[in-house]
Structure 1
Amino acid sequence: MIKNICLGILCFISVQLSAQGEFYPPKVEISDYTLSKFLTELTLAVGKKDKDFILEHLDPNILNSFGGDGGIEEFKMYWDFNAESTNFWEVMENILLIGGPSFDASKDKNSYYLPFTFTDWPDQYDAFEHYLVLGNNVNVRNKPTTENSEVLGQLSYQIVKISDPDGEILSENNDWLNITTVDNGLSGYVYGKFLISPIGYRLGLIKTENGWKINMLVAGD
């Protein structure tokens, strides 16, 4: 009897440890047809790089940064929106691909924010020091390269701490980042495109008399 209880406790601990730091995308449920329709239209517009659609659906007081005054003209300047080299489309595509939270779980039915890595981030993990490994079976390597490097392990939707070997937090502009799992069980390099910061770019939408509008596109804190 005691042996069975001990085995049960060990199994429970094993499950808890294996689940530590896991953060999977939520099941997205959107009962508001106008919002789901707008998200579809927005996704198509981003794919076609439809500037007119974006400008028509910006809130007049859109927040572009935490240091600016906001507004559509500031938006155009901030993103260099008329230039072919603007990275606006890439940023928007990444946000939409990551996806948002369940709209139906929100108390405010007149606003929606995404990605879920911003809205649902677990409080116990410092947003400035941790990222999410977004993907299944993402390789962790012993060197920041795919050439002549060893795969130390793989991670799927795990929250990890970002640092270099000396403990300094790295910029998300690096192609490869040094990571350590939250249980300190695995350290190595992960390619940057698989790492998402909870305080990276996020998108805010509000419901107005004229339909849904983009009222926020910011990064940082």
Structure 2
Amino acid sequence: MKPLLLVATFTCGPALADRQTFPPVDEADQDPSLLAFRAELLTKVKARDADAVIAAACPDIYLSHGGNGGPEEFRELLAPDPATLPEQGGETYWSDLENTLLQPGYFDEDGEFWMPHQWQITLPATLDPYMAYFVNAADVTLRQSPNRGAPILDLISHEVVIVRDYSEIDEYQQVLLTDGGQGYMHSMFLWPMVGYRAAFAKSEGGQWQLCTFVAGD
């Protein structure tokens, strides 16, 4: 499912690897029909139109590791019962879906279109994938301490970094670069490598559909 794009082997200890950058390339414009489908689907998502989004999905859409998938599970996540609100359902789920569909993507060997583009990066077995984050912008400041006015140590663009203890409440995270450098980076630029990804695939009739929206390893 993922093209072979290797990050050089490294561990979370002192012996690390050279840094590598993975600039985003959106391959969607290779297929005008996919571009049109993505734009239309985003319009439906922005309108929070659950019925329309479900209609644009595969009948067996994959939504979780261990769940049943399909339209019923999708509806529970998009329009949950307030009394049984899923942890990842509701408005947060809509926002995650919208943000994922806005990301650049790539075609895999089966002709499916995956977003975000960094999902094609293959992490080494020595790295805990839950510690791996992708810097999803160019020239992101790596600072000496966790505040906006701290001295800048480096500018980081489109590479994998390690965050040992990610905090949902902290504005800045302590990160470890693959060459051993360390510092603090704003949370908004860190996309978990086990975060949400989505895939479009064509039906037997040749129509694009949303067939995967899932997070986790």
Partner of residue 157, structure 1 = 158
Alpha-carbon distance, 1:35 to partner: 1.6
Structure-1 separation of matches of 2:81 and 2:34: 27
Partner of residue 204, structure 1 = 199
Written as runs of structure 1 = structure 2, the 5 A alignment for 1:173-212 is 174-184=170-180, 186-208=181-203, 209=205, 211-212=207-208
2:94 to 89, 97, 105: 89
Partner of residue 47, structure 2 = 48
Written as runs of structure 1 = structure 2, the 5 A alignment for 1:26-45 is 26-28=25-27, 30-45=29-44
Alpha-carbon distance, 1:182 to partner: 0.5
Structure-2 separation of matches of 1:193 and 1:162: 14
Structure-2 separation of matches of 1:80 and 1:192: 28
The structure number with the bigger radius of gyration is 1
Structure-1 separation of matches of 2:71 and 2:188: 29
Structure-2 separation of matches of 1:122 and 1:39: 25
* Bigger RCO of structures 1 and 2 (CA < 8 A, at least 6 apart): 2
Alpha-carbon distance, 1:179 to partner: 0.5
2:215 to 211, 215, 219: 219
- The amino acid that maps onto 1:217 is F
Partner of residue 146, structure 2 = 144
Written as runs of structure 1 = structure 2, the 5 A alignment for 1:121-140 is 121-124=121-124, 126=127, 127-140=129-142
CA RMSD of aligned residues (A): 2.6
TM-score (norm 1): 0.74
TM-aligned CA distance change 1:174 to 1:117, over 3 Å: farther
Written as runs of structure 1 = structure 2, the 5 A alignment for 1:56-95 is 56-81=55-80, 86-95=91-100
Alpha-carbon distance, 1:218 to partner: 0.7
Q: Percent identity?
A: 28
Structure-2 separation of matches of 1:43 and 1:132: 23
Alpha-carbon distance, 1:66 to partner: 0.6
Paired residues, number: 191
Partner of residue 25, structure 1 = 24
Structure-2 separation of matches of 1:128 and 1:53: 33
Structure-2 separation of matches of 1:112 and 1:157: 20
Determine which structure has the larger helix proportion and give its number.
1
Structure-1 separation of matches of 2:57 and 2:26: 27
Alpha-carbon distance, 1:190 to partner: 1.0
Offset from partner CA, 1:121-176 (integer Å, 9 cap, x none): 14448333321111121112233332x5333222111221112xxxxx42567532
Provide structure 1 residue ranges, at least 5 long, that are not aligned to the other structure. 1-18, 164-168
Provide structure 2 residue ranges, at least 5 long, that are not aligned to the other structure. 1-17, 83-88
- The amino acid that maps onto 1:162 is V
